Amino acid sequence: MQVLIRGLRREITEQRLRDKFAPYAPVRSVEIMRDGDPEQPWAWVDFDMDLVAALGLLRQFDGQYFEGGVMRLHLVPHQSSD
């Protein structure tokens, strides 16, 4: 499941995001997008989980303060849960 994460700060790294979520869900990949406003990058995080587990992750972490920002998590619509 791909999750879009907004509310990040310039200093964020792929490894920090991976370390944040690894205890809660298997992380397949992390890609940080710095185009646009480099002070507020956003990230695609691909988790190895189904829709139900992804919704639980969103409830747990959406709005949580992390590394100087408030994370906003969004599920990508119309994706298959393989």
Question: Where are the chain's structural domains?
Answer: 2-75
Q: What pLDDT, in 10s, does the model give residues 16-48? A: 999 999 999 999 999 999 988 888 999 999 999
> 2-75, which class in CATH?
alpha beta
* Residue 1 contacts residue 49 (beta carbons within 8 Å): yes
In degrees rounded to 5, what are phi and psi of residue 53? -65, -40
pTM for this prediction? 0.88
- Check residue 35 and give left, alpha or beta (phi > 0: left; psi -120 to 50: alpha): beta
**pLDDT beyond 90 at 2:** yes
User: How far apart are the C-alpha atoms of 16 and 19, rounded to whole Å?
Assistant: 5
Query: According to DSSP H, which parts of the chain are helical?
Result: 14-21, 51-61
